Amino acid sequence: MREITFHYDPISPYAFLAFERLPQALMGHSVAVRYKPVLFAALLKAHGQLGPAEIPTKRDWTYRQVSWLAHQHGVRLEMPAAHPFNPLALLRLGLACATDDAPGDTSRYVTEQLFHHVWHGGLDATDPARLAELQSRLQDHMAQRDKLWQAPDGDVVKQRLRANTDGAIALGLFGVPAMVVDGRVFWGFDALPMLRAYLEGEAWFDTASWDAAARTPTGVQRR
């Protein structure tokens, strides 16, 4: 069975769309998916980038496009009351649910809870009362599974998030969602068809085209 690692931050609407449509993209294939939360802002900082929502005109386009993509693909999406926002509390709540056998992963259920907290309802993702309600729900989920719950603000959880993010940077990941399989990175919601083609054994992936992209000379660099 192949393994796909789905790197995400619930702040990203494209990661949310990819999460919702990933089962459809993987239908018919024997794969295991690991959901790995990372701090998107740290990836941006590592590569000297601004996020889409930090560039005013790009921000407007991003929100229009994700609303259209959700409509086109039949995904429920309501913009949160404010965006961007600080996602640290959500990332830590997710990793508070990680288990000892996969300390950097969240289950699909937990990942879904984080995404729906942001992208369903049009509410404030950082509202303390809402975060407390989410924490209670996740704690109940862990108790029902007889699994250990870690303190979201404790050192264990902070280290899990740091390790995930550092690992993503070491892989060269520059954004979310980033899906990694067999050492190949597929970035973005629009990469799902490409990911599926790879899993289906599309011959193009065995040509020189994949590696040739990294050998294209740089013509000019802005200072």
Q: What is the pLDDT of residues 19-76, one digit of tens each?
A: 999 999 999 999 999 999 999 999 999 999 999 999 999 999 999 999 999 999 999 9
CA 164 to chain CA centroid, nearest Å: 12
Give tens-digit pLDDT for 119-154.
Answer: 999 999 999 999 999 999 999 999 999 999 999 999
Given a cut of 80, is residue 212 above it in pLDDT? yes
pLDDT at position 12 is: 98
Q: In sequence order, what E strands does 41-198 have?
A: 178-181, 184-187
- Whether the CB-CB separation of 62 and 13 falls below 8 Å is answered with yes
161: CB partners within 8 A, 6+ apart: 37, 38, 39, 88, 91, 92, 95
User: What pLDDT digit, counting tens, does each position of 97-123 carry?
Assistant: 999 899 999 999 999 999 999 999 999
* Mean pLDDT, range 177-186, rounded to an integer: 97
Is the per-residue pLDDT at 222 higher than 90? no
Give pLDDT, residue 188.
97
d(CA 8, CA 220): 32
Other Cβ atoms closer than 10 A to 166: 14
pLDDT of residue 81: 98
CATH 3.40.30.10 corresponds to the domain 2-215: yes
Q: For residue 223, name the pLDDT band (cuts at 50, 70, 90).
A: confident
